[in-house]
Amino acid sequence: MAFRNRNEAYDISLFEAAETDDKKADKTDNKVLNIPKEKFITKANAKRRVKQMITGVCVGAVVTVFVGIIIQGQVQLTELNQQISNANDTLAEQESLYTQTQMKVESKLSSTVVEEYAQSKLGMTRADNYQKTYISLSDADKAEVAEPDSGNVFDAIANAVAGLWS
């Protein structure tokens, strides 16, 4: 594409000629009607504007509802986070109280405290080696608990089946 070096944009005479042509055309062809602005608002335009306004109000309402839902969700999330934080604080306090109570119980029931109580209050002493008797059990020994005979036939059958499994 070849560019021409023309200075027509700065040639004012071209614009003067166009103005004179427009003035001649205005004088000869005066077929343009001037209608007041109030006449442009017709029923179709009014209906279209009402539809546009209703659409705008509906879109605004939907956006407002969505924003409200988001805000409500954030409020609930904040409240739940606060409840979790409070529950964690309560848990930490209860764990601390449990630890303190456990320490108190352990201090009251330590072996030295029990031994001192047994010696001073109950008059007990530690067992000496001559008082200790050691026994050994072989693997074949077993203990059985004697049960009273039941007169029920079904219990006897159930016990017999259970004896097979053991």
- DSSP string of 62-130, one letter each residue: HHHHHHHHHHHHHHHHHHHHHHHHHHHHHHHHHHHHHHHHHHHHHHHT-HHHHHHHHHHTS---PPPGG
Residue type for 42, please? Answer: T
For 102-152, the pLDDT digits (tens) are: 998 888 777 888 888 888 988 888 878 877 787 776 666 666 666 666 567
> Domain limits of the chain?
41-124
More confident residue, 159 or 83: 83
Torsion-angle region of 123 (φ positive above 0: left; ψ -120 to 50: alpha; else: beta): left
- Would you state the torsion angle of the CA atoms of residues 145, 149, 155, 157, taken in this order, to the nearest 10 degrees? 90
58-76 pLDDT per residue, tens: 999 999 999 999 999 999 9
pLDDT of the residue at 114: 82
pTM across the whole model = 0.39
| Mean pLDDT within 35-52 | 74
> Which of the four pLDDT bands, split at 50, 70 and 90, describes residue 99?
very high
